[in-house]
Amino acid sequence: MTHNLIRKLLIIGLCSLFSAAASAQTFIFTAIPDEDETKLVERFRGIADYLSEELDADVKYIPVKSYAAAVSAFRNNQVQLAWFGGLSGVQARSLVPGSQAIAQGSEDQAFYVYFIAHESTGLDRADRLPEDVRGKTFTFGSKGSTSGRLIPEYHIRETFGEAPEDVFSRVGYSGNHTRTLRLVESGTYEVGAMNFAVWEKELENGNINTDAVKVIWKTPSFPNYQWSIRGDVDENYGEGFTDRVREALLSLDDPELLESFPRSAFVPASNDDYEPIRKVAKEIGIID
């Protein structure tokens, strides 16, 4: 065997190895930690298994500890796909050129925030944010949350013409929607704001003491959660991979997986859908 032939065979072998490595490259995703971690891990491991089968690829879910960590992981290419809220999605896509919102829950087209109050406040459900919340203690969810911070703060400022710290006697950040519910239910905070879907799911499961806590106001609707994918995915995982991921998400019809979100289905989404979120975040100074 000549040296030239040996060299050609070596080159062909190396190319095959590199090609196999590329095709076996793990596709990684994460999600904002908007609920208890055990619930999220169960939900997204199911999504990882589903995507692995649909994409014929190695797909892995990695949990993160904060909304900011989810955005950073997306920016640094530690994850290529993420389940973001409206605000975190806007922030993440702005950091990675070409990134796209590719799917959202059917319910995310018109999402809501519930303002909730402990029974000791005497507050009842109203058509607008009650003036009597002034002077109460109040908790947001995470500082980076759309439904746990951005939208509630916007409406507080619209109603009172003041920052939340000037409206309430004490302002806190619970970290996630489940914790907001528990803090208000226990009376640790008198009033809070949370994702309506988490409230409805906890209510359906019998996990809310309705003698202790109630909904006092429902905000107007806004676009919220979505799946966002990095702009360089096709370059790194093969032409058309973004479309395959989008199609897999839109085709997901497993009732148990959908219920875990909870969503009835996933529908197409685009970056333009979240322009209202970007504008509100800019208006109240959360983004530049």
pLDDT in tens, 263-278: 999 999 999 999 999 9
| Amino acid, res. 82 | A
Last residue of a domain, one of 188, 218, 248: 218
Total domains present in the chain: 2
Strands 213-218 and 59-61: unpaired
The string over 216-245, giving b where at least 16 C-beta atoms fall within 10 Å of a residue's C-beta and e elsewhere, is bbebeebbbbbbbbbeebbeebeeebbebb
| Residue 265, domain CATH | 3.40.190.10
Residues 264 and 211 both lie in one domain:
no
Residues 208 and 196 both lie in one domain:
yes
Judge whether 122 lies within some domain: yes
pTM of the model: 0.83
Residues 43 and 131 both lie in one domain:
no
pLDDT in the model for residue 6: 46
- The backbone region for 208, taken as left when phi is positive above 0, alpha when psi lies in -120 to 50, beta otherwise, is beta
Last residue of a domain, one of 218, 240, 266: 218
pLDDT in the model for residue 2: 55
Judge whether 288 lies within some domain: no
Residues 169 and 262 both lie in one domain:
no
Residues 243 and 210 both lie in one domain:
no
Low-confidence ranges of the chain (pLDDT < 50): 5-6, 8-23
Residues 40 and 167 both lie in one domain:
no
CB half-sphere exposure, 59, CA atoms < 13 A: 22
| H-only helix segments in 56-141 | 67-75, 86-95
Residues 128 and 191 both lie in one domain:
yes
Residues 45 and 178 both lie in one domain:
no
Judge whether 138 lies within some domain: yes
Residues 162 and 28 both lie in one domain:
no
> DSSP code of 176?
S
- How far from the centroid of its chain's Cα atoms is residue 172's Cα? 21
Residues 119 and 208 both lie in one domain:
yes
Residues 9 and 104 both lie in one domain:
yes
Last residue of a domain, one of 169, 197, 218: 218
Residues 174 and 253 both lie in one domain:
no
Taking the C-alpha atoms of residue 275 and residue 83, their distance in angstroms, rounded to an integer, is 18
Judge whether 50 lies within some domain: yes
**Strand order across the beta sheet in which 170-173 lies:** 170-173, 137-140, 191-195, 113-118, 213-218
Which structural domain, as residue segments, surrounds residue 57?
3-109+223-283
